[in-house]
Amino acid sequence: MILTRSPYYINDTIIYADIPRGILALYIWEGLVSDKPASPTYEITKEIYGVVTIDSPTTELTFEISNLIRDYYNHVPVFSLDTEIIENGGGVLFVEGEITYPVGIQPTEVISRMSAIDGYGYFMEGANPDIPDNNFLLSNNYYVVNKQGFFNVPFRNTAAGEAGSGAIYINGTPYLTTPINSTANQVNNLWINLSFFDENIEVVYLGETIYLELQTECKYQPVDVMFLNKYGSWEIMSFFKAQRKSINTDSKDFKNNVATAGAYLTNKAQYQRYNVNGMESLKLNSGYLPESYNETVTQLLLSEKVYLLNGGNHIPMKINTQSYEFKTRINDKLISHEIDMQYAFDLINNI
């Protein structure tokens, strides 16, 4: 599966001389496998500058395709009032193509169909990293969750059928996945309404487990933040403690001539504001969490899509925290996280 926020390279080895250029025909689409477009989404010609000789018998032709793919995502935040499997519409694409050579005898390089998702790899993971072997598309395997809220477990759908083969389990109860025949079910979301459960939750898929610790907050109103994580999937982090809301306004001023016939009224403003608008900000505190949440916070800070869950009425947010010092058990004993974010729209509607 291609993670398109990091570069993804397609290479072909040129083994014949006198090959001046190669042409990449790239097909990108959403939907069923059979929905592949009749014409390429992109057709790119690239000159070949290396010369095949006896001393240098090969040269490489390379295309980077991640940015081409990213134009076609249609990210839609998931939500349900039930506990169920939700398909991942808009977040996965099919990619296929071929490299042809109009001059010379270099054979066509066929690029078999791949799935692409809007995730990324870290530098130390190298080029073209893949998603985790456990098929869970999450930053962590242990979460402290809001008992009155929701949680999402995105996972790569690798099997479909009866319970025991294509099922994902919540505390032993199977939820069947759907057949893998479109981009919508390459990745499934196990959406959990946590208020339906009175004990901690274990989610098991193909022998791997995610643990959810239910927590009830008595003093503050917890806030669930949904974001697109490292694996291009929707993850939720709950902030349990005090939240602080603020507003920042912006305007322009002009100096008004209030005099008429050499006189003026003292209740007329000499300086007048116009184009006044504002943006609200929110400071959230997580409460005490395991040290493993440092990775979850990292992925939240790196996310390009962030929402307040708000009972399904997703509110778009923009992370303002630019620099963050992580805590550890050895140095800090108790670990909590404080994140600044901004509502991603003007307070006064101007659209």
> Tens digits of per-residue pLDDT, 95-126?
999 999 888 788 888 889 899 999 999 999 98
The Cα–Cα gap between 316 and 326 comes to 25
pLDDT score recorded for residue 163: 44
- Confidence category of residue 176, pLDDT binned at 50, 70, 90: confident
Contact status, residue 293 vs residue 335, Cβ threshold 8 Å? yes
- Confidence category of residue 51, pLDDT binned at 50, 70, 90: low
Residue 125, helix vs strand vs coil = helix
* CA proximity to 308, closest of 298, 319, 293: 319
Please check the confidence at residue 223 and state whether its pLDDT lies above 90. Answer: yes
Contact status, residue 321 vs residue 250, Cβ threshold 8 Å? no
* CA proximity to 293, closest of 176, 96, 140: 140
pLDDT score recorded for residue 185: 86
Q: Residues 246, 238, 176, 136: is their CA dihedral positive or negative?
A: positive
The Cα–Cα gap between 73 and 116 comes to 10
Residue 192 bridge partners (DSSP): 151
Average confidence (pLDDT) over 259-275: 87
Please check the confidence at residue 178 and state whether its pLDDT lies above 80. Answer: no
What is the pTM (predicted TM-score) of this model? 0.89
Average confidence (pLDDT) over 187-214: 95
The Cα–Cα gap between 251 and 107 comes to 63
Q: What percent of the chain is modeled with pLDDT above 90? A: 65
The Cα–Cα gap between 241 and 174 comes to 34
Please check the confidence at residue 251 and state whether its pLDDT lies above 60. Answer: yes
Domains, in order of start, for the chain: 2-125 (2.60.40)
* CA proximity to 190, closest of 180, 179, 204: 204
Q: What percent of the chain is modeled with pLDDT above 70? A: 95
Lowest mean per-residue pLDDT among 56-65, 129-138, 230-239, 295-304: 56-65
The Cα–Cα gap between 78 and 159 comes to 22
pLDDT score recorded for residue 119: 95
The Cα–Cα gap between 45 and 270 comes to 63
The Cα–Cα gap between 250 and 256 comes to 19
- Confidence category of residue 175, pLDDT binned at 50, 70, 90: very high
Q: Which run of H or E residues covers position 295?
A: helix 293-301
The Cα–Cα gap between 215 and 237 comes to 13
Contact status, residue 309 vs residue 150, Cβ threshold 8 Å? yes
pLDDT score recorded for residue 335: 92
pLDDT score recorded for residue 56: 58
Please check the confidence at residue 55 and state whether its pLDDT lies above 60. Answer: no
Please check the confidence at residue 162 and state whether its pLDDT lies above 60. Answer: no
pLDDT score recorded for residue 164: 45
Average confidence (pLDDT) over 42-70: 79
